[in-house]
Amino acid sequence: MKHEYRSTWVVTGLTAILMATSALGAAPGMASRTEDQTTPAATQPAPDAEFNGVVLPESSQGDASIELARSLLPEEFKKYKGTSHLIFTDSDWESLSEIRGTLRRTWSEYRGFCRRMGVVVPRPDEKLVCIIFDEHDDFLNFAKRTEGDHAILELANGYFSPRYDWIALFEPLYHDSTLEAEQVLHSRQRELDEFQQRLDESDLPPDRRQQSQDEIDRLQRGIDHQFSHMEQWARDVRTAVTIHEAIHQFTHVCHTWPGINIWPMWLHEGLATAFETNDSSSGFGPDRVDQTRDLEFIELLEQDRLIPLRDFISMKAYGDQTEATLSVMYPQTYGLMTWLYEYRTPQLAQYLKRLSAPPEEDGVQDPVRLFEEVFGKVDALEKRWHRIEKTGWRSKRH
Looking at residue 28, its pLDDT comes to 35
Report in angstroms the alpha-carbon separations of 259 from 88, 89, 197, 365. 30, 33, 68, 11
CA–centroid distance for 142 within its chain: 18
100, 174 contact by CB (below 8 A): no
Looking at residue 319, its pLDDT comes to 61
Give, as one character, the DSSP assignment of residue 319: T
Phi-psi region of 110 (alpha: psi -120 to 50; beta: other; left: phi over 0): alpha
Strand (E) positions, 315-361? none
Q: Is 310 exposed, middle or buried (0-12, 13-18, 19+ CB in 10 A)?
A: middle
Tally of CB atoms within 10 A around 130: 27
Give, as one character, the DSSP assignment of residue 57: P
- What is the spatial distance between Cα 140 and Cα 24, in angstroms, rounded to a whole number? 19
Looking at residue 357, its pLDDT comes to 67
The rounded mean pLDDT for the chain is 82
DSSP, collapsed to helix, strand or coil, labels residue 138 as helix
> Has residue 34 got a pLDDT over 80?
no
- What is the spatial distance between Cα 178 and Cα 230, in angstroms, rounded to a whole number? 8
Find all residues with CB under 8 Å of 64, minimum gap 6, and list them.
57
The whole-model pTM stands at 0.80
Tally of CB atoms within 10 A around 57: 11
- What is the spatial distance between Cα 113 and Cα 121, in angstroms, rounded to a whole number? 10
309, 367 contact by CB (below 8 A): no
Residue 316 pLDDT level (bands cut at 50, 70, 90):
confident
Looking at residue 4, its pLDDT comes to 31
Report in angstroms the alpha-carbon separations of 35 from 66, 116, 293. 21, 25, 25
* Alpha-carbon dihedral sign for residues 136, 141, 145, 148: positive
Looking at residue 186, its pLDDT comes to 82
- Amino acid in the structure at residue 75: E
- Amino acid in the structure at residue 153: L
Looking at residue 8, its pLDDT comes to 23
Summarised one tens digit per residue, pLDDT across range 195-244 is 888 888 888 888 888 988 988 888 888 888 887 777 888 888 899 999 99
> Has residue 298 got a pLDDT over 70?
yes
63, 255 contact by CB (below 8 A): no
Residue 282 pLDDT level (bands cut at 50, 70, 90):
confident
- What is the spatial distance between Cα 157 and Cα 170, in angstroms, rounded to a whole number? 7
> Has residue 310 got a pLDDT over 50?
yes
- Amino acid in the structure at residue 105: R
- What is the spatial distance between Cα 191 and Cα 258, in angstroms, rounded to a whole number? 61
| Strand 78-81 versus strand 85-89 pairing type | antiparallel
In angstroms, the first-to-last Cα distance of the chain is 24
Cα Rg of the chain, angstroms: 24
